Structure 1
Amino acid sequence: MPHLQGLQAKLEKMGVILLGFNPADDKEVALRFLQQAGVTFPTVLDAGPQARRVAHELYGARGVPAHYIICNGFVVDAWMGFDAEHARAWAAFERLGVAGSRP
């Protein structure tokens, strides 16, 4: 999570929002984890069956971390796994014309 927190600090300066989504843990477990990890970006907590269906069936999230770049309501890129340099995210932002995409 620290790598995402660092990414959020850069994205915020560009007017981009990093939004976390946890469709697995109950509220108390998730909030405790977010607090311990020092996460300050907004995170949606919903472990209900519909949220799980959206994550697993519609977006294909089969593990964590799962990443999605969404622009105007459309998923423009999605991938699974950890990338400390966020190369795929920066490439997607560049394709979208986000000014100053590369740090």
Structure 2
Amino acid sequence: MTSVTAAKPSPPRPSAIARPIRARTAATVELAGRDARAAGMLERDTSRRLAALRAAIEQGRRDGSITSTRDAGAPARFVNATIGGMRVSSQGGADRATLEAIAEVVMDALTH
């Protein structure tokens, strides 16, 4: 009796995962001004992201890696807005070096 082993499926490529997420995000943002449900989804997503960023900033302050003395909400909003801009830049063709340079500026802002 011959046994046949099924090949393991390869994991999806990050770009295959990111495309539907970007499309869903773009649609939600586009609809938020006209659709209460979309606005609620966007607000919940933003609130969760900002809470995670605030927590990371506060942890960074405790361990000394973040020296900014501003209320944690302000740098969290700055990082969140920068990430959005980096997404747009990436979709527009920005290369890795450009995106890393942007990230370095964000880190400088948090540590000075």
Do they superpose with TM above 0.5? no
TM range (shorter): under 0.3
Q: Which has the higher contact order (CA 8 A, sep 6+)?
A: 1
Judging by fraction of residues, say which structure has more helix.
2
From the two aligned structures, give the one with the greater strand fraction. 1
Q: TM-score, with normalisation over the residues of structure 1? A: 0.26
